[in-house]
Amino acid sequence: MLYPLNTETRTVLSLNGIWQFQMQVPDEPRDPKQPLTDPDNIAVPASFNDQTTNLKLRHHDGYVWYERQLTIPHVLSEQRLSLRFGSATHEAWVYVNGIAVGHHKGGFTPFELPINDAAHVGENRITVKISNLLDDTTLPVGNYSETTDDAGHRIPHVDENFDFFNYAGLNRNVDLLATPWNRLEDITITPQIDLKANTADVTVHSETTQASGRIQVILRDASDTVVATGTGRDSAIHLDQIHLWQPLNAYLYHAQVTLLAEDGSVLDSYTEPFGLRTVAVKAGQFLINDRPFYFKGFGKHEDTYINGRGLNEAANVLDLNLLKHMGANSFRTSHYPYSEEMMRLCDREGIVVIDEVPAVGLMPGFDFNVSSKANSPKNNPYWHQVKTQAAHQQAIQEMIGRDKNHASVVIWSLANEPATHIEGAHDYFAPLFKLAKQLDPQQRPCTYINIMMATPKRDTCSDLADILCLNRYYGWYIQTGDLDAAAVAETQELQAWQAKYPTKPIMFTEFGADTLPGLHSAYNEPFSEEYQVNYYAMNAKVFDGITNFVGEQLWNFADFQTKVGIGRVQGNRKGIFNRAREPKAAATWLAHRWQAIPNFNYKN
């Protein structure tokens, strides 16, 4: 799917701003043909939850309604008109002037709906019904239940099977697109790079809505100089003396794709940025441009004050500046695809990304007890009862379809902490890995994020992963407060993984300790800033002793909001920054470590 851009043939009108909003009363559906009555105001893009003083709305499970007016100018009346949503969390039904124009399920990827049959020149009314409900068929996975109030209304309830707040709404940009009827529908850029010759053969595949017309491709370098041209829906273009996209040293080319009529007039035009780099897994190393790369960075969340999970471009810029300032080079989009704006920013900044689908909560029950009986691998029917396969396939298709051209994306993560220690997981995941490999023209490595119970002896899916990504909390959830014992156990497990898969790289994609800013202890007590520093120092010593260990992405970049519970104090406090992006002591310690570690050849 193409990102919305204004070009000589395309017009993008932003529908961001103040919309009208209403929470639906349970069991009392409303008619979208009628305007909202007595609505509130709500900002888009942003989650609705933190824009209110209404406690019921903040924790509302069910349906909400968004509405606004749209004026369509006469100059656009002959073009194809569509509404494009960067996301709608988690399910949306869209109406124009009370007429249904489309539906999308899945809260973290974009969708586009044509509206010409429902809209007209002048004033129009856009209405969007959104559900934030999650259950055992959705991604993320939620525990769904219902109760009945005194009036007999069915009240839905969602208990998240994951550890972050279920922020919802129109979290990303909403736009009106005006495009030609005969237009470019998608562009796929696949480079084949010869590093020794410093050349590249670039295939630019263009999909159009009609068979008529011919394709012209012009490649420009970062200085906007034309470096090559091509023709055809599968343009094969050779480049000499190429500039590589490197971690923290980004270089982007641009492919201008033009759809021409037979008389040479322009029907449609679009420009797609791309970078030239190679990614490979070889001999226990993760290679970028054939050099052993070491991941330094974080798991993150799209989570800021007031915006919730809503797009916050100022926060995105600050987060990447803080990341680079510390000497970090990467992050994982835990636990869902992040906004297109963030992905494009990472391309420009040279930030390496592990891109993850919203497959979180694929376990019998979420809690903080790693020995919970619910997650017992013996006689556990979980994978024989799970109902998320269709949603999982859709999520993979939409993530790769959206992000396939991003140079910053080097790994696809197909799940976070699934119960791969339970029998049946391999049958569930094998077709998903096959699908991801089929969909990605660049054949990036694929992985899943391994849960702590899935040890080298108990895990059933590690053969599917190109790189072993482990979430481990030695010294926190187990060996709590005893860093000496934690170091021994952690070392033993990593050695066991390396012995089992001597050619696979290993990295930690989560490790961390909840820390309250300003809490100090002379006795290295958990939750203190001293303990967090010593925790990371212990892990660093272990990491440096494992040959195939290729990266450390700690949990978490910043404190973030979670559901209410006595296991959390105003959310998850494992951030090395608080939610306002103010550093804890560990941020300084980690900066000293990471600034001393080169991006390449650290373990050589």
Cis peptide before 358 (omega within 30 of 0): no
Q: Which structure tokens are listed for 489?
A: 């156990």
Q: Which structure tokens are listed for 496?
A: 């066991």
**Which neighbouring-strand residues pair with 450?**
470
How far apart CA 89 and CA 487 sit, in angstroms, is 40
Distant-in-sequence, close-in-space partners of 479: CB < 8 Å, separation ≥ 6: 485, 486, 489
CA nearest to 51, candidates 170, 141, 142: 170
List b or e across 158-191, with b for residues whose CB sees 16 or more CB atoms inside 10 angstroms: bebbbbbbbbbbbbbbbbbbbbbebbbeebbbbb
Catalytic residue among 417, 490, 529, 552: 417
How far apart CA 65 and CA 71 sit, in angstroms, is 20
Neighbours of 366 (CB within 10 A): 18
Q: E strands of 106-197, at which residues?
A: 111-114, 122-131, 142-148, 154-160, 174-179, 184-194
Q: Which helix (H) or strand (E) holds 594?
A: helix 585-595
Question: What is the Cα gyration radius of the chain?
Answer: 25
Contact in structure between 507 and 602 (CB atoms under 8 Å) = no
Is 510 known to be catalytic? Answer: yes
Catalytic residue among 356, 510, 529, 552: 510
**Which neighbouring-strand residues pair with 506?**
468, 549
Pairing verdict, β 549-554 and 295-299: parallel
List b or e across 445-481, with b for residues whose CB sees 16 or more CB atoms inside 10 angstroms: bbbbbbbbbbebeebbbbebbbbbbbbbbbbbebbeb
CA nearest to 332, candidates 510, 574, 580, 472: 510
Contact in structure between 425 and 460 (CB atoms under 8 Å) = yes
Distant-in-sequence, close-in-space partners of 197: CB < 8 Å, separation ≥ 6: none
Sheet holding 226-231, edge to edge: 226-231, 214-220, 253-260, 266-274
How far apart, in Å, are the Cα atoms of 557 and each of 147, 165, 298, 553, 566? 37, 16, 5, 9, 22
DSSP state of 430: H
Pairing verdict, β 266-274 and 253-260: antiparallel
How far apart CA 58 and CA 51 sit, in angstroms, is 8
* Active site positions, annotated: 417, 510
